[in-house]
Amino acid sequence: MENEERLFISVLGGAGQEFGLAIYIGNEGLNSLRLAMEQKTPLQDIVFQQRSILMSFVDRDELESEDYMFLKAHGIPFRGKKQWPEFRSMVPGSYPWSIDEEEARYIIMAIEQTLSVLGMVERGTEIPAFGLDNQILIRAAKKTAQGHVWETEMMPKETFFQEKTLPLEIPQIVPDLVVKQASKHPIMDSQIEFDLFYVDMPIQPSAGARPYFPYMAVALDHKTGMVLNQELFENRNAFENAQFGLNELVNRISMLPKELWLREEMFQMLKAILTKLKVKAKKVENLPEAERFKEFLSQIH
């Protein structure tokens, strides 16, 4: 591919319910696939951060009107159950949407190479089981004097999987004066869970534009589960939202938490201002009250 973006393709249909191709784009897409297979992360959280394209074969009555008009405009006839193609673009923080031209090229390439691999399987090639075997079968375009030639290789799974990483140092975004004013509040004797996440309340900035999911910062008392503050952000910068969200919490309750419970990722986002606020941070893997709050939100939306 010209931009050297890797596509990771999953053929759907083994369970007899969904049919099509899921095309995960780049390391971002592959990491979301890994999270789904580990089954430790809530499905909705995975959807919020997924980079992929979904080509599904559905019944006629399952198509959105835009999908049907697209097929009709191109004069492509389909009949029968699970025969009508539907395409969806998945971008982190964005609402599932129609595909663009680049994503259409990805789909064409994915179909071509999937058919090539199908031919190999019919001739006896065994495909490593994703998630169980340590290798992944890949198709790579090699540039030759005659043009690009597709070749098949087996590569170690570890070559591709990468943990999501943050910048080495996330800068302070909240102005010094604002942080200084917040640091003057007295300390409250409590442990507070603080988190930032997408919420299923899509915002469409203008007619025809792709909607996006806003961020919410929430702070809860770890012992009682009481919500101390919640703030919705239309800004799509997670670092900025995290820092302003913590500052808003302090100003709203007019106190500083004795101990702030944070996931590792959130700790890195807030590290630049935690010392100046003189707040003790405790890094944890789970925020039980925050998770209960997120579950509550998912039930009412």
Q: pTM for the complete prediction? A: 0.83
Residue 121 main-chain phi, psi, to 5 deg: -65, -40
Residues β-bridged to residue 147: 144
Q: State the pLDDT at residue 1.
A: 45
* 3-state SS class at 20: strand
Per-residue pLDDT of 53-106, as tens digits, reads 999 999 999 998 888 888 888 887 788 888 899 999 999 999 999 999 999 999
CA distance 274 to 265: 14
Q: Where are the beta strands (DSSP E) in the chain?
A: 7-12, 20-25, 52-58, 84-90, 135-144, 147-156, 187-198, 215-221, 227-233, 256-262, 280-283
- Give pLDDT, residue 134: 87
pLDDT value for 164: 61
- Gap between the Cα atoms of 301 and 153, Å rounded: 45
**Closest to 224 measured CA to CA, from 190, 174, 262:** 190
Quote the pLDDT of residue 190.
92
Rounded Cα–Cα distance for residues 161 and 31 (Å): 7
User: 297 burial class (0-12, 13-18, 19+ CB within 10 angstroms)?
Assistant: middle
pLDDT (tens digit, 0 to 9) for every residue of the chain, 301 residues total? 445 688 999 999 877 788 999 999 998 898 888 888 888 888 888 889 899 999 999 999 999 888 888 888 888 778 888 889 999 999 999 999 999 999 999 999 999 999 999 999 999 999 988 778 888 899 998 888 888 899 999 988 887 776 666 666 899 999 999 999 999 999 999 999 999 999 999 999 999 899 999 999 999 999 999 999 999 998 889 999 999 999 999 999 999 999 999 999 999 999 999 999 989 999 999 999 999 999 999 888 6
Among residues 49, 12, 21, the alpha carbon closest in space to that of 107 is found at 21
